[in-house]
Chains A and B, each alone.
Chain A
Amino acid sequence: MANLDPIHVQGLDHFFGAGDARKQAIFDINLTIKRGSLTILMGPSGSGKTTLLTLIGALRDVQTGHIRVLDRELNGADETALVQLRRRLGFIFQAHNLHESLTATQNVLMGLQVHGAGDAAKQRIAAHHMLDLLGLPDRRDYLPGSLSGGQKQRVAVARALVSNPEIILADEPTAALDKASGQTVVELLKALGQQRGATTIMVTHDPRILELADRIITLEDGRIVSDKTND
């Protein structure tokens, strides 16, 4: 029977390295995330936040334990299944990682074309609409080289959201931004997530964002040490 919760983590351990250098980064994590919620992941540097996020995002192989994402077991899944799954997720990285040769619109189009060629005109309209929502209507045809850091990060957000991902995974999306741009990006993320019913997990140290969260999970040395729900 279909699992209604989009993310379900059970008995998850993760190790880096081999032999003497083998080191455990994640210890027995159990976690269920509700649809449409905004969860913040906190914790000191090296506590395993990024590792957990990349495991949930199907970017790393699951070693022990289980992760079910959108009703798909990641442990032992083949590469094709993982590629399929990633298309239903939206990633926002700390660095914008825009393609320097593509304009803002073309970068956003990459988020749509992963689902197939489709109707080029419709895709263009959707990409423009997304850029407009993020306050970049006059930057559509700019190359990343001529955008500011905040504008680039907003293009990256547009690229992640344009295909209506069911889950958004963001790792310190505001770290490279000044306060004002950071605030805008997170508010947009929250608003868009709510409108579209997307589930968001965000790693952040930014205290101003905490009040927007539905749930705050704190990691330390690879373990969950606190798990609070805001109501």
Chain B
Amino acid sequence: MNKILSLLFGRLPIGWLQLSHSKGRLIAAVSGVAFANLLVFMQLGILGALNSSTVAPYSLLGADIILSSQAGNTLTDSDNVAQVWMFQALSVPGVAAASPIFIGNLPITLVDGTSATLLTFGVDATKLGFVSPSIAKSLGQLTIENTALIDKGTRGVPADVIAGIEAGNPFSFEANGRTLSAIATMNVSGGFLADGMMVTSDQSFFRLFGARTSAAPNHILLQVDEGVSHDAVATRLRAALPAQSVKIQTLQEAAGADLAFMSTQRPTGIIFGFGVFMGILVGLVIVYQVLSTDVADHLREYATFKAMGYGNTFFLGIVFEEAIVLAIFGFIPGLIVSMGLYAGLVSVTGLPVEMDIGRAVLVFLGTLTACTISGAIATRRLARADPADLF
């Protein structure tokens, strides 16, 4: 370690030697940074799961543009949009096809008597192009009354039941006094939205949700002509349809808007965002505290070095060296423990909490930056090292 750092800095690694000399301080500082990292990782992990839950249902859809009610918030938290806009939209140049989609939360009872809520999507089972290819292959079977596709991650449905469905043994459950049969599975995992998800034909959907009619779907999905820009068609649609009642977005825009809504307008998003901020603050305070105490404890030595002819950059170098050592040594355990906790969260809650490299790199860079900032503030104490006081 000493050799590597000596080569790196072209001088003795004073910062490292100083930190490793006071073991208690080093351990406290590293645990502090690791803890701050852990906080940030947990918040980001849950925020990430929230975000992927939010956009997960989009993976069910095969569409270019989506028409929604202005009163709705997100894909699954939406109001109804009048079916008439579908026919108007079809007359706009560039729009190739349209299909309504119906969404509702369905309370179900499992064979063992437990209940759960499934986010249910009713789609036209004859229009394969409006769902994703993986769903399209089983879509034809949904024309049989009271059949459904069920998400593999549905809480309360054991893995062997899912395996059974895939092996050709439909799974039955009760909803609104009807017996539904899950005949195939899909893989969406929108852990935060509901206990699970289900896709049925629009006809089955109307039977399950007696109050819903084909005149008022939740969204209208549009496909544009081959080779035509989605944005251009969206612009034309905005000109043709009344803005106060219909929201027109490309699928990407809609997903982006849902993410923004969930992270800035909903308490969960704000809470976790705030958690990240708190984690960073905890890290900043701990590192500042450790580094400034360390500077204060070594003022005499620093004053001696000043007298010997060491300049300001040398002292800044020591403090930054310490900051970098703390960032690296704190990040590694923070990352490892976080990955363990992620795995625990996944097995307990089924939420899609995953460590991705981008997040790890981001948090590491953030840790380096935060430690450097704390170091920079701590160096203000260096000015008090006056070599004339040594005698």
Footprint of B on A, CB under 8 Å? 50, 53-54, 57, 59-60, 80, 83-89, 91, 93-95, 97-102, 106, 109-111, 113-114, 117, 120, 143, 159, 171
Residues of B in contact, count (CB < 8 Å):
26
Cross-chain pairs A/B with CB under 8 angstroms, 21 sampled: A57-B307, A59-B307, A59-B387, A59-B390, A60-B388, A91-B304, A93-B390, A95-B390, A97-B300, A97-B304, A99-B14, A100-B21, A101-B21, A101-B22, A102-B14, A102-B17, A106-B17, A110-B305, A117-B11, A143-B21, A171-B391
The answer on a CB contact under 8 Å between B17 and A101 is: yes
A65 to chain B minimum Cβ distance, whole angstroms, is 17
Does B267 lie at the interface of the complex (its beta carbon under 8 Å from any beta carbon of A)? Answer: no
A38 to chain B minimum Cβ distance, whole angstroms, is 19
CB-CB under 8 A for A54 and B308, given A102-B17, A106-B12? no
The answer on a CB contact under 8 Å between A114 and B12 is: no
Q: What residues of B have a CB within 8 angstroms of the CB of A101 in the complex?
A: 14, 17-18, 20-22
Q: What residues of B have a CB within 8 angstroms of the CB of A100 in the complex?
A: 21, 301
Q: What residues of A have a CB within 8 angstroms of the CB of B17 in the complex?
A: 101-102, 106
The answer on a CB contact under 8 Å between B308 and A110 is: yes
Q: What residues of B have a CB within 8 angstroms of the CB of A93 in the complex?
A: 304, 390-391
Give Cα distance in the complex from A109 to B310, angstroms. 13
Does B268 lie at the interface of the complex (its beta carbon under 8 Å from any beta carbon of A)? Answer: no
Q: What residues of B have a CB within 8 angstroms of the CB of A98 in the complex?
A: 301
Give Cα distance in the complex from A166 to B245, angstroms. 88
The answer on a CB contact under 8 Å between A94 and B391 is: yes
CB 8 Å contact bits of B2-27 with A (1 = contact, 0 = none): 00001000111010011011100000
Give Cα distance in the complex from A114 to B315, angstroms. 12
The answer on a CB contact under 8 Å between B388 and A97 is: no
Instruction: Return the 9 tightest CB-CB contacts between A and B, nearest first.
Output: A87-B309, A101-B21, A117-B10, A86-B309, A97-B304, A101-B17, A50-B391, A59-B388, A99-B301
Does B113 lie at the interface of the complex (its beta carbon under 8 Å from any beta carbon of A)? Answer: no
Q: What residues of B have a CB within 8 angstroms of the CB of A97 in the complex?
A: 300-301, 303-304, 390
Give Cα distance in the complex from A113 to B305, angstroms. 11
Q: What residues of B have a CB within 8 angstroms of the CB of A53 in the complex?
A: 391
Q: What residues of A have a CB within 8 angstroms of the CB of B20 in the complex?
A: 101
Q: What residues of A have a CB within 8 angstroms of the CB of B358 in the complex?
A: none
Give Cα distance in the complex from A181 to B337, angstroms. 54
Q: A83-B309, A99-B301, A143-B21 are in contact. List 5 more A-B contacts (CB 8 A).
A: A91-B307, A95-B390, A99-B14, A99-B304, A117-B11
Give Cα distance in the complex from A216 to B168, angstroms. 107
Give Cα distance in the complex from A106 to B12, angstroms. 7
Give Cα distance in the complex from A143 to B390, angstroms. 21
Give Cα distance in the complex from A94 to B304, angstroms. 12
Give Cα distance in the complex from A145 to B388, angstroms. 25
Q: What residues of B have a CB within 8 angstroms of the CB of A80 in the complex?
A: 311
Nearest CB to that of A97 among chain B residues?
B304
CB-CB under 8 A for A111 and B307, given A59-B387, A171-B391? no
The answer on a CB contact under 8 Å between B21 and A84 is: no
Q: What residues of B have a CB within 8 angstroms of the CB of A102 in the complex?
A: 12, 14, 17
